[in-house]
């Protein structure tokens, strides 16, 4: 059950279409994960424009939907899916897929926390894709194969998923204000997890265990914690295998910002 990759995703109600908002994201990236800045970036394949890690001006000029980037060592694929238009009612989304060990747990958590605050997260997750987690993700449709032999996979928790249900709990999950209002702050902060923390923007972070590697090395314990937390918060908010696709889950109301 080897760990295949670490995944990190942050969904924001901000459009991220303005130059100022783009600079916020890149500055957060440079501040908290400088060793994971891209080698190259672009808007389509092949991703071949050199990324200047010291000067973001050219990058900001090209920051349009989507922003795709790659790094060779350590291996990182990262993308920013900016809202296409002012009227589009979808979250802007940051997605990172990196090789295990590319960054410490502490640095990844610092990035998740800081970015969640600065771009007013509605939902964020930090997790590890193992064979078992891939199977879970295929059931809730956050994981899809990239090739016919199903040897490579992508993770995407799409904005359109959240008005339907929460696909799962992850090693670290950040619940934005809409979820805090739905579950209640005290309910979230009293969840039986390794760490529950209120962030300065009113979001609540839940961390299931001490180490990210526990997803692979202590999978049974992670599943026990995950099931207990879901029961604590209410199973009616989380994807449940076997229920019809038309099943109505408990979901919050989302509001989207425009520049």
52-80 confidence digits (pLDDT tens): 988 888 888 766 778 999 999 999 999 99
Indicate if the pLDDT at residue 186 is higher than 90: yes
What is the Cα 95 distance to its own chain's centre? 6
- Burial class of residue 30 in the structure, from the number of CB atoms within 10 Å of its CB (0-12 exposed, 13-18 middle, 19+ buried): middle
Peptide bond before residue 66 is cis, with ω within 30 degrees of 0: yes
Instruction: Report how far residue 204's alpha carbon sits from residue 27's, in angstroms, rounded to the nearest whole number.
Output: 23
Indicate if the pLDDT at residue 142 is higher than 50: yes
Per-residue pLDDT averaged across 200-205, rounded?
98
Specify the pTM: 0.94
Would you state the pLDDT for residue 1?
42
Q: Which of 55-69, 96-110, 156-170, 185-199 has the lowest mean pLDDT?
A: 55-69
Contact in structure between 33 and 184 (CB atoms under 8 Å)? no
Would you state the pLDDT for residue 2?
53
Considering only CA atoms, which of 176, 187, 166 is closest in space to residue 250?
166
The domain ranges of the chain are: 5-237
The total number of residues written for the chain in this structure: 259
Indicate if the pLDDT at residue 84 is higher than 90: no
Contact in structure between 31 and 38 (CB atoms under 8 Å)? no
């Amino acid at each position: 059950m080897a760990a295949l990759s670490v995944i990190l995703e942050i969904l924001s109600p901000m459009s991220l279409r303005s130059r100022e908002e783009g600079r916020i994201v890149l500055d957060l990236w440079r501040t908290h994960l400088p060793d994971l800045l891209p080698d190259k970036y672009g808007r389509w394949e092949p991703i071949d424009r050199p990324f200047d890690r010291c000067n973001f001006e050219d990058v900001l000029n090209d920051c349009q939907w989507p922003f795709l980037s790659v790094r060779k060592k350590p291996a990182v694929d990262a993308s920013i899916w900016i809202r296409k238009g002012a009227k589009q009612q979808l979250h802007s989304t940051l997605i990172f897929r990196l090789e295990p060990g590319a960054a410490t747990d502490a640095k990844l958590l610092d990035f998740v926390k800081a970015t969640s605050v600065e771009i007013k997260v509605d939902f964020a997750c930090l997790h590890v894709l193992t064979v078992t987690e891939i199977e879970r993700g295929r059931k809730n449709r956050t994981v899809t194969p990239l090739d016919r032999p199903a040897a490579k996979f992508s993770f995407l928790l799409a904005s359109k998923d959240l008005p339907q249900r929460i696909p799962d709990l992850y090693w670290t999950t950040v619940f934005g204000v809409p979820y805090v209002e739905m579950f209640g702050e005290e309910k979230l902060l009293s969840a039986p997890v390794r760490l529950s923390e209120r962030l300065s923007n009113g979001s609540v972070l839940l961390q299931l265990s001490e180490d990210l590697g526990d997803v692979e090395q202590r999978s049974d314990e992670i599943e026990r914690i995950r099931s207990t937390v879901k029961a604590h918060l209410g199973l009616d908010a989380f994807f449940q295998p076997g229920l019809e696709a038309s099943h109505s889950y408990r979901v919050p109301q989302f509001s989207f910002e425009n520049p």
